[in-house]
Amino acid sequence: MMVPLLVAFYYGDPLYPFLVAVVVTGLTGILLSYRYKEADEWKIREGFAIVAFGWLAAAAFGSIPYMLDGISPVNALFESMSGFTTTGATVLLDIEAHSKSILFWRGMTQWIGGMGIIMLFIAILPKLGVAGRQLFRAEAPGPTEDKLKPRIRETAKILWLVYLSISLAEVAALLLAKLSLYDAINHTFTTMACGGFSPYADSIAAFNSPLVEGIITVFMFISGANFALHYRTLYTDRNSLLKDDEFKFYSFIVIAATVILTFSLWNSMGETIFNSFRYAAFQVVSITTTTGFATVDFNLWTDSAKIVLLAVMFVGGCAGSTSGGIKVVRIFLLIKYAQRALFKSIHPKAVKPIKFNNKTVPDDVMQAIVSFVVIYLMIFGISTGLLSLMGMDIMSSLTSSIATLGNIGPGFNLVGPMANFDVVPFVGKLLLIANMWIGRLEVFTVIVLLTPEFWRR
């Protein structure tokens, strides 16, 4: 919080929102460090609890500047959780009315949350040792952990350095596109995190620049890919991305959805082929990677165009990326799992292993993927039903549920790209806050806290 405090000082904004927040969080940390001693070794149970409650604490303390800026407590918590979980759903009615420092903090929370709060601590705190492995497993997105080095701390440091390096490259590109330093940094924060917060109510449409849209589209696509593969591409094997089954399927989904949406817009909306491709490419990459930026109000599109975006909302980016959603690798392996089931219905005695990157996927990993998708869809269904019971129309209920659980941001109708989530009832906001928390931590890390077995010694 010292960084937005300096931004507030530079722009002449009120300092007390961040001064008070710094004092409160600092004193709390000092008191807890005296009260509780570090364990020699944490088990899986402790790893889940620390990650889950650590993210809740981050969102709670992160809401302090918003509350001191005059935002109600539940809206402040919603905005803070949306930031740290890189969801990008907002309840702010007039974004530009808020100070530059508050909007900078809003974007910065997404950049921190993109690579992971706990992963940042693993990278900078050497005392975590073996305990870091449990935290890494609980927070890392995807069905398997991708270690680049034998030590978890070294892996975390490498991933953060890659993240920082690509972020600096985007800042430079946006500066060359004539954005101000403030806008370049703020939009880099939220692009790299696949977050989608913008200091402008019109999002990226505020710039009305094909160049800016193109740069952000490229970096959203990069951020939706596995950062471990980015490292390997840069330092060990330049063909790592091209060899990876998940990245190839991810690219196929983006290209196919873009082509379909381009022709849908060209045919039904009366746009030129260039504008149809421009709008389609940006929106598809934004929604697939769960970034949530917008260059047009796709709430006004035809149903045939909307269905394309609705379909990719359930996909998400790659495992090990900053994006949310079910993840491409899970979709890819579920398709292979279904293919094997069809094959075995014809050849029941045949042995047909499921392969990923030329390696056999263990049955326990496949069981975990199936369980994840079932629980994910159950939470989505329950959330949709509860919101509809609160008086929201079915499309708003459905898309606000998937937009928060998948950490996407905008939906359709009442929660469209040029609208906000302030229309959601009070209890509905609490439900969507829980959705964002559960979705960012890959479901199991939070849901396991609700099982009786977790609390038994």
Pairwise CA distance, residues 429 & 268, whole Å: 35
Is 98 within the bounds of a domain?
Answer: no
The verdict on residue 139 lying in a domain is no
pLDDT digit string (tens) for 78-127? 999 999 999 999 999 899 999 999 999 999 999 999 887 666 666 655 55
Contact predicate 273/262, CB 8 Å: yes
Q: What is the pTM assigned to this prediction?
A: 0.91
Which pLDDT score is estimated for 215? Answer: 97
Beta pairing partners, 356: 359
Tell which residue, 258, 346, 350, has the closest CA to residue 308. Answer: 258
Does some domain include residue 163? no
In a domain, residue 413? The reply is: yes
pLDDT digits (tens, 9 = 90+) for 226-249: 888 888 888 888 888 888 999 999
How is residue 391 written in tokens? 């008086």
Q: Is 144 contained in some domain?
A: no
* Residue ranges of E strands in 152-299: none
In a domain, 311, yes or no: no
Number of compact structural domains in the chain: 1
Q: Is residue 60 part of a domain?
A: no
- pLDDT reported for residue 240: 85
Residue 158 falls within a domain, yes or no?
A: no
Distance CA(283)–CA(294), nearest Å, equals 6
What is the residue range of 387's domain?
Answer: 356-455
Distance CA 241, CA 363 (A): 25
Are 413 and 424 in contact by the 8 Å Cβ rule? The answer is no
Residues 6+ apart with CB under 8 A from 407: 85, 86, 87, 88, 194, 290, 323, 324, 325, 436, 439, 440
pLDDT of residue 145: 52
Helix, coil or strand: residue 356:
strand
pLDDT < 50 regions, the chain? 128-131
Taking the alpha carbons at both ends of the chain, their separation in whole angstroms is: 38
